[in-house]
Amino acid sequence: MTALKKQEIQFVIFAIFALLILFRFQMGHTSINVDAHFLLLHTLLELFSIFVSLSVFVQAWTTYSTHRIKSQYFIGLIFLAVGCFDLVHTLTYKGMPFINDEFSTSRATWFWIVARLTESIGVALFVFKPNKLLFIKRGWGVCVTVLLITVCTLIILTIPERLPVLINAQGVTDLKVALEYVITTFILFTFITLLRRYIKDSQPNIDSIRMIFALFVIMVGELFFTFYNQVYAIENLIGHCFKFIGYIYIYRSIYFPEIQQILTDKEKAEKQQIETELKLYEAEKNLSRQVFMAHEEERKRVSRELHDGIGQSLFSILVTLNTVKNDQSIEKREENLQTIKLMTQEAMKEVKEIARSLRPSTLDDLGFIPAVRSYLESYKQIHNISVQYEIKGGLGRLEPEVETALYRICQEALTNTAKYAKASEVNVTLNMEENSVDLIIKDNGIGFFIEDYLKNAKRKGIGLYSIKERAEGVGGSAQFHSKVNEGTTIEVCVPRNANEKVAHSIESIKI
C-alpha cells in the first residue's frame, strides 16, 4: 500500500471520529467549564498556529524574488494577517495580564472572527482565482496588509463598546453563530473544490490531501465554536485543538514541502559536488600520470640517443685515438686523425639535434617564427611530409612564455600528425593580430572521432590535453575539429601578453 493511500485511510478514520465527537456535543446540549490550565493550553495552541502562519509568510516572501508566483505571495500575505490577528487575540484573551477589563472577551472574540474570516476568504480566493491575485509589488503588498491589520486592530482595541456583542452571559450570540457558519461555508466550498480536483487528478500528491484534511479539521473546529456558553468551556478548547491539528497539516502541506525541497536540493547539490570533485581528482591523477609517463618517455629517448649515438661515437673516437697512439706511419696517423675529426663533428651534430629537440636555441635567440620555420624544415626531411607555412600580419617578438607555448603546441600537433594521421600534407598558418596570435594547423590525414579519443585518452597519451593546457596556461584557448578521412584541424588563439585573456578567444572544447 502506498503512503498516499495510507494517508487517505487515516484521514477518513479521523474525519469519522471528529464528526462523531461533533454530533455528541451537538446533541448533548451541555457545556463543561475547564478553568484549570485552560489559559495555558489556549496560549500554547494559538502560539503554534501563529508560528505556522508567519512561517508561511516568510516562505512566500523569500521565494517570491526567485519564483515570482503571485498566488503564493498572496497566500503568504493572508497568513501574515491571520498570524497578527491571532497574536492579538491571544494577548487580549480573558485572563491574560495585558488588557483585563469588561471588554476583554469581546476584543478577543472579534480578533478571532476577523482572523478566521481573513483566513477562510483568503484561502478561497487562492483556490478559486489563483492567477488573478495581487497586482501590486512585493513591498506594497506588505504595506497594504500591515495597514489593514493596524486599522482593524485599532478599531477593536479602542472602541470595543461600539462593536456588536458576540458573547453574553447566556453564551455565544446569534451573530457569533452566523459568522462562524459564514466562515465554515467558505471553508466548505474550498474543501469541496480541492477534493474534486484531487479526485480528478491523474497524479495526486500527498501535499494536496494534507491541505484537504487541514481544511476539513478546521471546518469541524469552527462548528465547535457555536456550542459553548463560556470562554473556558470544553467546546472552546476542543475547537482550538482541531484548529491546532489543522494548522499542523497546513504546515506540512505548504511550509514543510518547501523546506524539504531545499534540503533535498542541498543534499543533491552536495552529492553532485562530491562526485564532480572525485571525477576531477581522477582526471587530475590520470593527467599527472600521463605527464609523468611522457616525461619518462622523453628521458628514455634522450638516454637512448646519448647511448646509441653520442656514446658509440665517443667510444669509436677513443678506440681510434688508441690506434693513433700506436701508429708508426705518419700517413696512417693523419688518416686516423681525419677519421676522429669526422666522428667528432658527427657527435657534435647529434648533440645539437638532441638539444634542439629539447629546446632549440633559436627560440631564445631569434624568437618563435624563426624557430618554428627551422623546425618545419627538419620536419619535412625527417617525416617526408609536405609542409605549407604562412604568416599573416606583423612580425616581431612575442613574450617568451607565449613563444614557448606556441612552439610546444606546434611541435606536439605535428608529432601527432606524423605518428597517427598518415598525412601527406600539413598547412601551418600564423595570424599575428594586434593583441592576439592565431595558430592553425591542418592536415589531410585519416582524421578521428574526438569522442572516441577522449574515451581512450589513457591509451593514446596526452596530445590534445597538452595542447589545451598549454594554450590556457597563457590565457588562450584551443579548439579541435576532425572527421574520419577528412583530416584534422587544430585552432589555437593566445594573447600577445600572457597576463591578459584573449578578447575574441576561440571557444575551447571541453576535454
Q: Which residues contact 380 (CB under 8 A, 6 or more apart)?
A: 386, 387
What pLDDT does 505 receive?
37
pLDDT digits (tens, 9 = 90+) for 126-157: 888 766 655 567 778 889 899 999 999 999 99
Residue with cell 523569500: 62
198 and 288 together in one domain: no
Residue 508 lies in a domain: no
pLDDT tens readout for residues 195-247? 888 888 877 777 788 888 888 888 888 888 887 777 777 778 888 888 888 88
Please tell me what DSSP assigns to residue 485: T
Helix (H, G, I), strand (E, B) or coil at 482: strand
Which residue, of 331, 356, 381, is where some domain finishes?
356
Residue 481's alpha-carbon distances to 137, 450, 473, 494, in angstroms, are 51, 8, 21, 18
Query: Measured between alpha carbons, how far is residue 175 from residues 63, 103, 163, 224, 289 in Å?
Result: 40, 17, 12, 15, 85
Q: Is residue 501 a part of any domain in this protein? A: no
Domains contained in the chain, number = 3
Residue 510: its pLDDT value, please? 35
- Checking 137-145 for CB contacts under 8 A at 24+ apart, the result is 138/61, 138/64, 138/65, 138/73, 141/73, 141/74, 141/77, 142/61, 142/77, 142/80, 145/77, 145/80, 145/81
Q: Are 160 and 107 in contact (CB under 8 A)?
A: yes
Distance CA 319, CA 340 (A): 10
Instruction: Establish how many alpha carbons lie within 13 A of residue 271's alpha carbon, considering only the half-sphere containing its beta carbon.
Output: 6
Domain match, 166 and 220 both: yes
pTM: 0.53
In a domain, 30, yes or no: no
CA pair distance 258, 270, nearest whole angstrom: 18
Residue 383, amino acid: H
Is residue 454, in this structure, part of any structural domain at all?
Answer: yes
- Residue 500, domain member (yes or no): no
Task: Specify which of 153-167, 255-269, 444-458 reaches the highest per-range mean pLDDT.
Answer: 153-167
Residue 457: give its domain's CATH number. Answer: 3.30.565.10
Mark whether 125 and 218 lie in a shared domain: yes
Question: Same domain for 196 and 248?
Answer: yes
Say if residue 278 is in the same domain as residue 260: no
Can you tell me the mean pLDDT for 23-41? 62
Pair 96, 244 in one domain: yes
Distance CA 120, CA 183 (A): 6
CB 138, CB 61: distance < 8 Å: yes
> Same domain for 160 and 297?
no
pLDDT tens-digit map of 369-393: 888 888 888 888 888 889 998 888 7
What is the average pLDDT across 467-473? Answer: 85
**pLDDT of 329:** 73
Same structural domain, 350 and 478: no
Claim to verify: residue 293 and residue 351 sit in the same structural domain: yes
Closest listed residue to residue 190, CA positions, set 213, 215, 208, 207? 215
Q: In degrees, to the nearest 5, what angle opens at C-alpha 495 toward C-alphas 493 and 496?
A: 125
Higher pLDDT, 44 or 171: 44
Alpha-carbon Rg for the chain, nearest whole angstrom, is 43
Could you tell me which of 465, 476, 474 has the C-alpha nearest to residue 413?
A: 465
Q: Which of 301, 323, 356 is the last residue of a domain?
A: 356
Q: Check residue 496 and report its DSSP letter.
A: S
The mean pLDDT of 159-187, rounded to a whole number, is 88
What lies within 8 Å, CB to CB, of 183 at 6+ separation is 113, 116, 117, 119, 120, 222
Asked whether residue 253 falls in the same domain as residue 390, the answer is no
CA 28 to chain centre: 60
Q: Let me know whether 308 and 414 are in one domain.
A: no
Domain of 415 in residue numbering reads as 360-495
* Rounded percentage of the chain residues whose pLDDT exceeds 90: 15
Q: How far apart are CA 185 and CA 123, in angstroms?
A: 12
Residues 148, 293 within the same domain: no
Q: Is residue 60 part of a domain?
A: yes
